[in-house]
Amino acid sequence: MASVLDNRPALKAQIDKVAEVAGYLWQKGWAERNGGNITINVTRWVDEQMRSLPAIDGPRPIGTVLPNINGCWFYCKGTGKRMRDLSRAPMENGSLIRVVDGGAAYEIVADAPVRPTSELPAHLSVHDYLLSTGSSFRAVLHTHPIELVALTHCRKWMGKDAATHMLWSMIPETKAFCPRGLGMVPYMLPSSVDLAEATLSTLAEGYDVVMWEKHGVLAVDNDIIDAFDQVDVLNKAAQIYIAGRNMGFEPEGMSDAQLRELTVTFGLPK
């Protein structure tokens, strides 16, 4: 069966990255059943021939108006679809959509009429925000990393930057590869407008990774591999902390002076 990815190696490479990350999420146990979502802005890889393709489904209302992404194209994991299935067949478990009607609706263009994630309004709101700020970030990842979610069941880690400081102090790579830390959002109903708005507010504070209490993580970055890497290093730090606690002691962590040295030496954001 012909695919819109045929003879479009640059676009296919981006979808292949999504499939690769979907496999990692499943292998790590971060994507139970149909848990988690991925959307990437692929507009720069859409050619003129693609732009003339008719919709195979829609238009359907987004539920809000997002003018900054009007005319943009996205690859989205399908609603109810499993990451483990997406990893082997991304165009059967996801779809290419374009945003139309001034940012109020979307159409499915290829390859099959797979409805996008139920969290599409929240994801597209994040993409709209990223474009409005001039950000180079084009990938949004939501997943359920076990140890990070476990931390949110302890009230002290929900304080502003409490978890960030602890996670940074567990291993130098955490601050190096997630230098803006972890923003915390208190529990809100999944897929709700309140959760989407709280996430946007937290991103606006300067975070690239947002923790949803007792739920999961949302990360933004240049591409989906980079977004995955941020969550991966943060969760590794959480694993180190929990391993120390399981061994019967409170992990010492690096000192403030050692963390400042990392910031200065590697020119990290403050």
**Cβ neighbours, 10 Å, residue 168:** 27
Can 261 be counted among the known catalytic residues? no
Beta-carbon contacts of residue 224 (< 8 Å; ≥ 6 apart)? 14, 17, 18, 21, 38, 40, 139, 141
8-state DSSP, 208:
S
CA 175/CA 29 separation, integer angstroms: 24
Catalytic option among 48, 92, 107, 119: 119
Listed residue (213, 82, 100) closest to 154, CA to CA: 213
CA 126/CA 121 separation, integer angstroms: 9
Beta-carbon contacts of residue 133 (< 8 Å; ≥ 6 apart)? none
Listed residue (40, 111, 125, 50) closest to 76, CA to CA: 40
**Cβ neighbours, 10 Å, residue 205:** 11
In whole angstroms, how far apart are CA 131 and each of 99, 116, 127, 135? 14, 20, 6, 6
3-state secondary structure at position 36: coil
Listed residue (139, 106, 99, 96) closest to 4, CA to CA: 96
3-state secondary structure at position 7: coil
Active site residues: 119
